[in-house]
Amino acid sequence: RQGWMDRLKAGLRKTGTSITTVFTGTRIDDALYEELEDALLMADTGVKATQHLLEDLKRRVKESKTTEPAAVKGLLAEALTDLLAPLQKPLTIGEHQPTVLMVTGVNGAGKTTSIGKLTKHLADNGQTVLLAAADTFRAAAREQLGVWATRNTVEIVSQEGGDPAAVSFDAVSAGKARKKDVVLVDTAGRLPTQLHLMEELKKIKRVVSKADGTAPHEVLLVIDGNTGQNALNQVKAFDEALGLTGLIVTKLDGTAKGGVLAAIAQEKPIPVYFIGVGEKVEDLETFNAREFAQALLA
């Protein structure tokens, strides 16, 4: 546990340094709040969440009657923790067999890597997993998923050049027949502006529900934490098209834009089931609001 917190702290230092230097002065005055506003905006916290945090912080400072800038940092950590709290929710597996997770994202967000990490995480917890390679266009994507399947000794349903919705249907049907705990459907990366590809995702979702009336049980979006406000826009667009139930935020090991989680909490509070803190398979952690706030302001 400690190891990953250190990595998260080290990673978020890029985001946090400009925020924490605000509190090195000697007075709590307008200049401090202005500097803090700039630092939060620079960290991609967004206008709304920044405004919210500043107001909440000023209230807390007044209540505490403190005159020490250093103490303000602690109060900001509390304000940030409260803002982020709605994002903290565990992914529940087990209410359905199989639990069907559909995983979406733009290219390069870390979707395939995250599916690999998640597969290991689930397998380590004793869950049986079946992977569905619904990215039928890119051979490399299928191969990469195949590598994760082999490495974790889980089954995979894959078909070259087939219809992504048909592959997903087959995988969910197979998952039911083989009594798997989890079916992970990997979809091809796409931009929310590629409308025909967004229609394809809607189709996958529809067709999966034909294989199992209650599926998909989760529609996840993988976002690159390094892309800041762009990531927030992706959350909004994918949610509008598909109705997202959860997020995986990757690359928090070394981003200057970690404030985007506050923006998401303020504008589109969809649970962050996991965060990616490195390229290795074990670098996936559950999101904890307090830990994140403390790491950001460490």
H or E segment at 130? strand 129-133
Question: Whose structure tokens read 């398979």?
Answer: 281
Q: Is 112 in the site for ligand GDP (CB under 6 A)?
A: yes
Nearer to ligand GDP, 118 or 183 (CB): 118
Nearer to ligand GDP, 53 or 109 (CB): 109
- Site for ligand GDP, residues 91 to 110, rule: CB under 6 A: 105, 107-110
Angstrom distance (rounded) from CA 268 to CA 275: 17
**110 annotated as a binding-site residue:** yes
**50 annotated as a binding-site residue:** no
**What does the buried/exposed string (b/e) look like for 12-25 if buried means 16 or more CB atoms within 10 Å of the residue's CB?**
bbbbbebbbebbee
**250 annotated as a binding-site residue:** yes
Q: Which of 296, 292, 278, 230 is nearest to 88 (CA)?
A: 292
**105 annotated as a binding-site residue:** yes
Question: Whose structure tokens read 């912080």?
Answer: 57
Which segment (42-50, 81-89, 163-171, 271-279) binds ligand GDP by CB under 6 A?
A: 271-279
Q: Is 136 in the site for ligand GDP (CB under 6 A)?
A: no
State which of residues 9, 190, 251, 257 lies at the interface with ligand GDP (CB under 6 A).
251
Q: Is 240 in the site for ligand GDP (CB under 6 A)?
A: no
What is the DSSP code (8-state) at residue 65?
T
Whether 129 and 146 have beta carbons less than 8 Å apart is answered as: no
Residue 124, C-beta contacts closer than 8 angstroms, at least 6 positions apart: none
- Site for ligand GDP, residues 185 to 204, rule: CB under 6 A: 189
Question: Cβ 49 to ligand GDP, closest distance in Å?
Answer: 22
State which of residues 113, 168, 288, 294 lies at the interface with ligand GDP (CB under 6 A).
113
Kindly tell me the burial class for residue 165, based on how many C-beta atoms sit within 10 Å of its own C-beta (0-12, 13-18, 19 or more).
buried
**109 annotated as a binding-site residue:** yes
**Bridge pairing between strands 218-224 and 182-186:** unpaired
Nearer to ligand GDP, 19 or 221 (CB): 221
Question: Cβ 250 to ligand GDP, closest distance in Å?
Answer: 4
State which of residues 276, 289, 291, 297 lies at the interface with ligand GDP (CB under 6 A).
276
Nearer to ligand GDP, 15 or 112 (CB): 112
Two tokens, residue 148: 């994760």
Interior CA angle at 188 toward 185 and 189, to 5°?
Answer: 120
Question: Cβ 226 to ligand GDP, closest distance in Å?
Answer: 9
What's at 112, amino acid-wise?
T
Question: Cβ 287 to ligand GDP, closest distance in Å?
Answer: 13
Task: Please report, as ranges, the residues that interact with ligand GDP according to CB under 6 A.
Answer: 105, 107-113, 189, 250-251, 253, 276-279, 283
